[in-house]
Chain A
Amino acid sequence: MKRRLMMVLALVLIVPGLLMTAACSKKAVKSDAALTQGGGDTGRTIGKDKKGTGSDSGIGGTGTGDTMRGAAADRFVNEDVTFAYDSSALDARAQEILKFKTEFLRSNANAAVTIEGHCDERGTSEYNMALGQKRADSVKKFLINSGISGSRMNTVSFGKERALDPGHNEAAWSKNRRAHFVLQ
């Protein structure tokens, strides 16, 4: 009897805890989106400007309907593809994640995304910028090969400028070596 009570208590405490964790990672996505927004600037633009400048709004997008909300959309933006050190190769786990992303993009034909490439803090800044781009390109190529139109996907590299986990250990670094999806 007491044991059952303990189990119920444990469930009552753990489940809300998990829900709050999900909410926290939602916040992380929101802050990433805010950081990709341009602030004021003083230059004149020549050439093509990226679609969606300053309109990153994280989850939900802008006017793309009910299918953009809910658990599938949450998973789409929260589940990052991760990479081995100094690599842009997609391992089995990465490909599994990308299969889900492909399904989502097929089901939501109006969805457009930005694929962000990121690196861990260890390397030097400029090389990491290029490596982040290579990672984003690698993911985009996989999705194109899975039948998603390239015109729906934009890529941007943040190098090591936007760490997800500020820690200085492999646990943090492996989280930071990622491709992250943002719905437009």
Chain B
Amino acid sequence: MTWTPDQPIVSLTDVRKSFGDLEVLKGVSFDVMKGEVICIIGPSGSGKSTLIRCINGLNDIQAGSITVEGQEVHDPKLDKLELRKKVGMVFQQYNLFPHKTALQNVMMAPVLVLKQDKAEVESRARALLAKVRLQGKEDSYPGELSGGQQQRVAIARSLAMNPDVMLFDEVTAALDPETVKEILVTIRELAEEGMTCMLVTHEMGFAREVADHIYFTDRGVIVEHGPPSTFFSEAKDPRTQEFLGQIL
């Protein structure tokens, strides 16, 4: 099956995932089109992070299917490395490589994994760091950067691979409210440029503003979903209403 851009870039069908006896995903299905920005919201422990980690194969699944650009992610024959070149991921705890400078963090994967020309990668990496407003921090080590700055390096590091889809796993959850803004500005710019983004987030205001579609998960299932224009005002399910009532 060949994938064409008019088909969903990421497609989940009845995905089930358990940790031992604990079933955290109980049949999740949805599609993401190219250029779409979707937000997954929901209470803690509802399986949001697990869901997003299944998409680049960091977690495996027990049943169902996940495809990225038409390729089955959990096909044992699939080259996971090829998949991960297409899917970038940013973590809550930044996870920069502490022994490398900001610039080296961004350059490492394109040079070592994609075997691209070092000089070309360096100019691209510098441009990416400038794009996330980190000019002058190229030679700083992660330990010398604030949380917000580290997270922006992490975003630049993912973007350097030129992914088709970006996954954001609660990327602002470890930051204070002021630095959250710098991260959200960066993500919004990405979204406006047409990057397909999937965000797990607790920032409802941001979700309302940038998302094309919002999914609400609770206890391993998608309870409700819709575009932000209707999702926040016309939530029907009592669980969604309760959650939104607590947040908004």
Partners in one complex: no
